[in-house]
Amino acid sequence: MSHPISTLGVLHTAISLVPIAAGLYAFARFGGINPTLRSGKVYLAGLTLAVVTSLGVSSSGGLNPAHLAGVVVLVAAFGGALAPKLGFLGRLRPYMAAFGLSFSFLLSLVPGTNETLTRLPVSHPLATGPDSPAVVQTLLVWLVLFVIGYITQCRAIYQCNKSGASTGSWTAFGA
């Protein structure tokens, strides 16, 4: 049986869909989340609001490891957004930016996957908790897609650097 969802939980869920949609759009359109583009800005703003609203949502009645995970997601996202400005990273700047932003997207899928599979379909949810095979297998698929996506981004960054292109989605990352 699924757990009831509060009004704040509904609001948090709706807000959490914004960075997922913006991230998917950015990956499909630009090959990655670029914080200088509108989709990247929407992603970061939506992600921040999702984490902030998650602090008021708790089935245990207080702060829990999921709230800490939200902070980790924000650190990864904003670390990725700031990476191009960190000169000491040198040539790694675009790679670190792509990693941080993509990793934050992956991490944001973890609670969403668990919540979705333990609540839907309402009459008979696909999973009973985070250790359920459906949740674990879905997270494994997300991890594989993340690795493939990050490798693809790295190749695009490398090709952009190699060709000396002055335009392209990766030049904003400091390539």
Average pLDDT of every residue of the chain: 89
Any domain includes 136: yes
Any domain includes 1: no
Any domain includes 62: yes
- Per residue in 88-117, pLDDT tens? 999 999 999 999 999 999 999 999 999 899
87: pLDDT confidence band, cut at 50, 70 and 90? very high
Which amino acid is located at 152 in the chain? Answer: T
Nearest to 21 by CA among 37, 9, 39, 34: 39
- Domain that residue 142 falls in: 7-173
> The tokens 């990352």 sit on which residue?
173
pLDDT for 15 equals 95
How far apart are the C-alpha atoms of 23 and 148, rounded to whole Å? 16
Q: Which two tokens stand for residue 3?
A: 């757990």
Any domain includes 73: yes
- Per residue in 15-70, pLDDT tens? 999 999 999 999 999 999 999 999 999 999 999 999 999 888 866 666 777 788 99
**How far from the centroid of its chain's Cα atoms is residue 93's Cα?**
19
Number of folded domains that form the chain: 1
Any domain includes 128: yes
Any domain includes 2: no
> The tokens 């690795």 sit on which residue?
147
CB 107 within 8 A of CB 73: yes
pLDDT for 62 equals 67
pLDDT for 64 equals 73
Any residues with CB less than 8 A from the CB of 58 and at least 6 apart, and which? 64, 66, 67
Predicted TM-score of the model (pTM): 0.88
Any residues with CB less than 8 A from the CB of 159 and at least 6 apart, and which? none
- Residue 1, pLDDT above cutoff 60: no
How far apart are the C-alpha atoms of 39 and 100, rounded to whole Å? 16
Q: How far is CA 44 from CA 18, 131, 138, in A?
A: 10, 29, 24
Which amino acid is located at 100 in the chain? Answer: G
Any domain includes 92: yes
